[in-house]
Every structure is written in structure tokens, then in C-alpha cells.
Structure 1
Amino acid sequence: MNDAVVPTHAPELTLSSLYRDHHSWLESWLRRRLGNAWDAADLSQDTFLRVLASAQPIAQMQAPRAYLVTVGKRLLVNFHQRRSLEQAYLNALANLPETCVPSPEQRWLVLETLQALDELLDGLPVRVRRAFLWSQLEGLGYREIAERLDVCERTVKRYMAQAYEHCLLVQL
């Protein structure tokens, strides 16, 4: 007969225990995907910050690693999108005459603004996003957007309304 006492429930999971038990594993997982220890460390910290800020009660997590991987994957996608956006901006800067190249501070502000805009529009369908960006950044009218997208103007109006509604709801 086994006299060992079996607890009736697992100890309550806290942020501290979650971090202690899974941080190094998560950082290794991220490092394998990024090939870079510095970025992996940053994204690992960001993952735990997201967990802390989330509505998911830590004490009720049934599969902490699966949850951390889900959050980590989202951050990886954002990371790669941000890098792609930065590279596109740097490529555009390379084509500018020397006298028009912005200062490092201006470049940083533009990149931050582009990143905020990208996050704001995240989740919109591609055609809606394109219509909105063409309207706002290139100043195209609904007719020109409709021609580019090969849709009617009424559809462009619907796309724009959807984009504006999305932006307003994200800001709330």
C-alpha cells in the first residue's frame, strides 16, 4: 500500500511560477525560430507582458506552454511584419537623393508611425486595407480605387466605411 499523499489539486499557477517554469523554454523556442538570441529574449519578455495584460486568468491556465506558444507566434508574426516594413522603408530611403534623406530621429518617427498604422489596420481584409491606404496615403478618389481593385464605387464606399469603423473600434 502506498502511503504517499497525493494532492487533491495542483498548486495555483502564478505569473511568477509561469515565468520561472517556462521562460527559458520559451526563449529557446523563439531562438530556434529567429536564429537570434537578442530578439528571442525581447520577444520572450514581450510574451510574458502580453500574458500579464491579457484577460486570461493565469491561475486557470490548463496548458501554459500552448498558451505561451500562441502568444509567442503572434509576436513573431508582428516581428516579421515590422522587419519587412522597416526594410521596405529603408529601400525607399536608398532611392532618395542625399539632400532628401531624413535624419535618424525622423526615420525612427516614420517607422514608429508606420508600425502603429500597420497594427491599427491589422485584421482588415486585404482589399479593404488597400482601398483605405490608397485613399489616405495616395489621395486617390473612390473612382480610381474602384478601377485599381476592379470593383464598383459603391463597393469602395463600403470598404472605406468598414475601414473607418475598424479604426474607431480599435481606438476604443
Structure 2
Amino acid sequence: MSSDTGWDPADGAGLEALYREHSTWLVRRLRRVLGRHADAAEDIAQDAYIRIARYATDDAGRHPRALLGTVGVNLSYDYMRRIGRAQRFAEDSARRGDASTPACQEADLALRDAILSLPPLYRDAFLMSRFTPLTNKEIGTRLNISVKTVEWRISRAVEICATHIDHEGEDR
């Protein structure tokens, strides 16, 4: 699809045409941005198309590469921040010896399982609140929900995780 003709986000065929026209360019751009994490470029490009499917502005139709580039680069930065945090956490744990005890490993697995068992609407808000530097207002903006809803989802996620971990402990 040509940028001159515009793009209708409600039209699935239009999104497919947009993908065919710009996906190679976007993946190349993301590989440059991601550097040593370039293997994630295709997944992040897919996420970028999912994100822009929501946009119904004229700018999205007139300047799809600008929108795709901005969304893709921002998703790449988010990805690299998550990777960096995970690496720092692993290094800190190894330095302290936290992960070496079976009890700590078991607790880590129970927490991981609890988080993975959360329904996506709670999990997304919870993970953003705990593993990103975003404020509740920023999380609300990203998820297109109010700050109160963000707070409620986070508190509900904590309750669900606590219950899950308690039940795991009873099973052992």
C-alpha cells in the first residue's frame, strides 16, 4: 500500500498491505537499534503492527513509516530496559548468593508461576508497576485505562499472587 493513498486501521487488508510494504524496512531499522539484541527485531516489529492497529488518525495513514518507526523504536527501548533489569537482578542475586539456596529458588519459581497465572489485564499492570520505572499514570496511558483502574488491577494482582503462593505452600 502506498503512503499516498492512506491507511484505514479498521481495514485488516490495509494493515496487511502496510505490513507487506514496510515490514522489511522496520525489521532492519529495529536490528540497528537493538544491536546485540537484534534477534528480537522481528518479534518487536510484530508488536509494533499490533500497536498501530489501534490508531485511526490521519497521520497514521499519511506517515506510516514515522508511526511504525516511533512505535518500534519505543518497544525496542522497553525490551532493552527489561533485559538490562533482568541481567542486573541476576548479577545481584549471584553476587549475594540469593539464587543458590534451594528455598530461594523454590520461592522464585512460586512467584514466577503466580505472576504467569495472572489474567493478562492484571499481569500487564502488575509487571509494568514492578519491573519498569513507569508511574501509575503512565501505565494507565499505555493501557488506555484510568489511574484508579491501574491501582485496582495492581492490588488485585498482588492478592491473586499471594493466594496462589499460599496454595502452593499448602500443596507441599
Measure, in 2, the Cα distance between the counterparts of 1:167 and 1:92. 33
Equivalence for 2:140: none
Aligned residues: 124
Matches within 5 A, 1:1-172: 10-13=4-7, 14-35=14-35, 36-52=37-53, 54-57=54-57, 61-94=61-94, 95=96, 96=98, 97-103=100-106, 105-106=109-110, 108-109=112-113, 115-118=127-130, 122-123=134-135, 166=147, 168=149
In the TM superposition, residue 117 of structure 1 has moved relative to its aligned partner by 2.1
| Structure 1 counterpart of 2:79, one-letter code | F
Distance in 2, Cα, partners of 1:78 & 1:116: 10
Q: C-alpha displacement at 1:18, in angstroms?
A: 0.8
Is this contact kept in 2: 1:86–1:111, CA < 8 A?
Answer: no
Going from structure 1 to structure 2, the CA distance change for 1:121 and 1:170 (only over 3 Å counts) comes to farther
Distance of 2:84 and 2:101 partners within structure 1: 23
Name the CA shift for 1:60/1:50 in 2 (closer, same or farther; >3 Å).
Answer: closer
- Percent of aligned positions with the same letter in both sequences? 23
* Structure 1 CA distance for aligned equivalents of residues 152 and 65 of structure 2: 31
Q: Which letter does structure 1 place at the counterpart of 2:29?
A: W
Say if 1:85 and 1:38 are closer, same or farther in 2 by CA, change over 3 A: same
**Structure richer in helix, relative to its length:** 2
Task: For CA contacts below 8 A with separation 6 or more, give which structure has more relative contact order.
Answer: 2
The two structures have a TM-score, normalised by structure 1, of 0.55
Name the structure 2 match of 1:3: none
Q: Normalization by structure 2: what TM-score?
A: 0.55
Larger Rg: 1
Q: Is the 8 A contact 1:15 1:58 kept in 2?
A: no
Deviation, structure 1 residue 111: 7.8
Q: Deviation at 1:100?
A: 3.4
